[in-house]
Amino acid sequence: MKYDETGLPEKVKAYLEEIYNDEGLSDAFFDCDVEILDEACITDMEDDCSWLDDLMGPSQSRESFYEDIKPFAMDGTGAVWVILNDELVGYIGTEGECGIVARNIDEFMNIIAYGRYFSDYSIEHLKSEEYFISSYTEPEDDEHREVFDRFIEKHGFTKDPHKLYEMIIAGLTVKPFFEFRSTDDDYCDSYSILGSDDGQEALEKLIDLLKIDKK
């Protein structure tokens, strides 16, 4: 599986090929709720964007700053992990939520391989580095630890929880936010992956809490 027929960036293709063709690594990512799609599925989704219409409403009823959206994986709910503008990694959920989760594919892979999961993040969880690190515990009886350790070592990823926290915050707070604005009264704006149902209010609150420079 080479992913040569997809429109994904070369580095993303290389990661997908590595994971998809390694059963142990593929199983490890799957257990982290990241199912790497095969080449045929990706090309079908690139050619037919009805999956995005199903998740976020028909194209004529929505607008977004990010127009170059390329799928590469799904989770167990049917949500889709995507590449935005050939660099950022985004998430489009099944309940109207979406957002950026990493600044690039390297950081996304590092966060999954060491941090394991995105979906449980909240303002409470991320409000301080100290709280994040103190609340993080590695899974007991981790059958994938050896596989992930090899993956981390091969790619020179970090296992420093302080750096992991920095990566997560840097990804989640990228501006412009990845969101869909409704242009039709029959549909609603998307909301933050941090759980707010009011546009991107949750992300703005996190930025204020952490005193991140908004410029």
Would residue 2 count as lying in a domain?
no
Task: Count Cβ atoms below 10 Å from residue 115 Cβ, excluding itself.
Answer: 19
Average pLDDT over residues 34-62: 96
Would residue 5 count as lying in a domain?
no
Instruction: Give the range of the structural domain holding residue 23, as residue numbers without chain letter.
Output: 10-210
The pTM is what?
0.94
List the beta bridge partners of residue 84. 69, 88
pLDDT at 140: 63
Would residue 36 count as lying in a domain?
yes
Number of separate domains in the chain: 1
What is the distance of C-alpha 188 from the center of its chain?
Answer: 22
Would residue 80 count as lying in a domain?
yes
Q: Which of 3-12, 89-98, 126-135 has the lowest mean pLDDT?
A: 126-135
Contact in structure between 154 and 175 (CB atoms under 8 Å): no
